[in-house]
Chain A
């Protein structure tokens, strides 16, 4: 098997699964219970919070555990909207955000909020000048992803943060789901107020994520109830998945320190091999892109969905654009926003790597890609 769909989900590290099983088996008590076993669960939760905070270089009380990236993104956007609606009702985001950012924005629009969706350039990058021009007196939130999930473009988060430092009434949310453990970002230095990460994108398990909420930022809770997570996110904590997430993050960061140069070199090699195939066009920008995502468009006549299944026969797993929207037959919004045209945007394929991928996979995978294109072209012609 050659697994090249790591931006959809990563394979959990075995040690992470071990932790999950150990916690779920031995420390199953409710962390809010008064007795000693409850206290142990509570300790585990506190230790996970400290470890994650230390790795993100923020304070433990700035970490809110959620069920994952989608909830964290929803919470950041709606939480700010409800809490600060007296201050203003304007939100700025981009045309290439993940659905878990776009859809809450759409819901807010129905409720009378105004949302500006900023365009991106041909490399998929939003410009700081455009953010500045879109800012208004009543702008309460700017939400920009760190690394685009479809093409891998890294957004100018630090620059936008520096700009927003001059607008204290506007909060800054960053969806860092694809960036964490792949592209460094110092949340404090970049002036980020809210930041989303999700465990299963760094070899943790599904069902756990984090919203970083800078001290001083208030959010209206989406999920009200027993008052867990400092009243911000009620519901009995998923201690096992959270501990597993803390371990996964530690291991993923260690892999970053050890392997980032190798991953970057691997991606370059992939790009070179793909660029040599005449029937595909690379969509990922050369510079300023994450080290793990490669996007290309197939030539006309090869349907992406069929291509994915054809490759699957050889045990090779890739995506059409993003997994979350791949079941809808629509052109990629990101590729469209990059101005690549409807035709090319309909034929996007994404290869996403992790630290576990190797050079040895490139040759057989590229051969299979060539073969698949050939087979499918013959069928459709």
Chain B
């Protein structure tokens, strides 16, 4: 007897009242897309839980994939059997035997949802516990802090046995909160900001500023790799690559050195906002963290943000650098981010950027040159890649592998 299904418990979605079905359906679709390689599985969903029927597909790789789906609070491998005491005993025993149980402790926690079932919970605990104890070696009972908690749930449609809870990614299903543009530089922070915004149910499209030959193909590839990492959590993500060389050069030549950084940021935000309108998104996500660098002081943010009233979401605003690095490592973007290629934020950096820029001065300097046509051109020449978790990129090499 093998685990035949995975039981999925919802997280925060359960507080959504009448809208819950929208969330559940989206979660189901996200899971189905994530598991499309496993052709035989079936997904059954109801208001309070979901089951993935394995139909012979291996559970280990499915579990690994489920860990990256937002909206899942926890999940467990489960077996289903008839509401019959002997069947329950055998099923529970089989569930334990599939775990590394030697030298461990266990207990049985039964719940009788179906009150028609003739055996009471404590009776079930005793009967099933005794059966497992008799049929195994090296397993002992501990009702306070067991290593293995054998849970038995007798419901109308059958009895479910689960042994091990695995924590899910939490959050809300991607796509239930609308769409936002993520400004993605290639550094450590912005991918983490993308991850956190997806965790809140946002669908994201990434925007990257590319300045050849000052920034190299490797830098662009790095961003593609970062987006591909993020697709682990968000399925398919669009990446907009904005040709930014000209804008950067003009600003560098025409704006006083200490204000060039601020102006560059304003130009980036204007372009991103134009792309946002085109893509019908409602917000912009950045990896800014208050006080981290010159452009992220409150004064700078104020002057940069002045170009738009689109909501700018800054998921990292309250985090320490070390916390951000830790999270980047967890989600697998850190090692890509630290690759040492020049990016749009490292070229043309002024020696001493203003940390307390004045809005009037920026406006004054910018009024001396007409950036608008250049910005418009950058938006129009933007190249868009669709990066998919399954197909990924690298078709050029596909047959070599």
Contact = CB atoms under 8 A, between A and B. Distances in A.
Contacts of A48: 401
Interface of A: 19, 22-23, 34, 36, 39, 42-44, 46-48, 51, 57, 59-61, 158, 162, 186, 243, 246-247, 250
8 contacts: A19-B399, A19-B400, A39-B216, A39-B217, A48-B401, A59-B332, A243-B400, A250-B401
B221 A23 contact: no
B100 A246 contact: no
B87 to A, nearest CB: 29
B100 A19 contact: no
B335 A47 contact: no
B221 A39 contact: yes
A162 B400 contact: no
A43 B394 contact: yes
Contacts of A39: 216-218, 221
A36 B400 contact: no
A43 B400 contact: no
A186 B58 CA distance: 14
B230 to A, nearest CB: 15
B221 A44 contact: no
A47 B217 contact: no
Given A34-B216, A46-B225, A250-B401, 16 more contacts: A19-B400, A19-B401, A22-B399, A36-B217, A39-B216, A39-B217, A39-B221, A42-B218, A43-B221, A43-B397, A60-B335, A61-B335, A158-B100, A162-B100, A243-B400, A247-B400
Interface in B29-47: none
Contacts of A57: 64
Interface of B: 60, 64, 100, 216-218, 221, 225, 332, 335, 394, 397, 399-401
Contact of A47 (B60, B100, B332, B401): B401
A48 B60 CA distance: 23
Contacts of B218: 39, 42
B391 to A, nearest CB: 13
Given A39-B218, A59-B332, A23 B400 contact: yes
Given A60-B335, A61-B335, A44 B397 contact: yes
A121 B174 CA distance: 55
A336 to B, nearest CB: 32
A61 B225 CA distance: 14
B104 to A, nearest CB: 11
A224 to B, nearest CB: 21
Nearest to B332: A59
A19 to B, nearest CB: 5
A51 B332 contact: no
B172 to A, nearest CB: 27
Given A59-B332, A162-B100, A243 B394 contact: no
Contacts of B217: 36, 39
Contacts of A61: 335
A160 to B, nearest CB: 13
Nearest to A230: B335
Contact of B401 (A36, A51, A186): A51
A61 B336 CA distance: 10
A22 B400 contact: yes
A46 B218 CA distance: 12
B401 A247 contact: yes
A57 B64 CA distance: 10
B303 to A, nearest CB: 36
A47 B60 CA distance: 23
Nearest to B398: A47
Contacts of A44: 397, 400
Nearest to A61: B335
A36 to B, nearest CB: 6
A36 B218 CA distance: 8
Nearest to B218: A39
Contacts of B60: 186
A42 B217 CA distance: 12
A51 B399 CA distance: 13
Contact of B397 (A34, A47, A186): A47
A44 B218 CA distance: 13
B214 to A, nearest CB: 14
A250 B216 CA distance: 32
A2 B216 CA distance: 53
Contacts of A158: 100
Contacts of A186: 60
Contacts of A51: 401
A36 B394 CA distance: 15
Nearest to A215: B329
A250 B400 CA distance: 11
Contacts of B401: 19, 47-48, 51, 243, 246-247, 250
Give the residue among B221, B394, B400, B401 with the most A Cβ atoms within 10 A. B400
A243 B100 CA distance: 36
Nearest to A23: B400
Contacts of B100: 158, 162
A359 B335 CA distance: 48
A245 to B, nearest CB: 10
Contacts of A23: 400
Contacts of B400: 19, 22-23, 44, 243, 247
A158 B102 CA distance: 12
A372 to B, nearest CB: 43
A191 to B, nearest CB: 11
B94 to A, nearest CB: 20
Contacts of B394: 43, 47
Nearest to B334: A61
Closest CB pairs A-B (n = 8):
A19-B400, A61-B335, A247-B401, A39-B218, A243-B400, A246-B401, A39-B217, A47-B394
Give the residue among A47, A51, A59 with the most B Cβ atoms within 10 A. A47
A359 B311 CA distance: 69
B337 to A, nearest CB: 13
Contacts of B335: 60-61
Contacts of A46: 225
B98 to A, nearest CB: 13
Contacts of B225: 46
Contacts of A19: 399-401
A61 B229 CA distance: 14
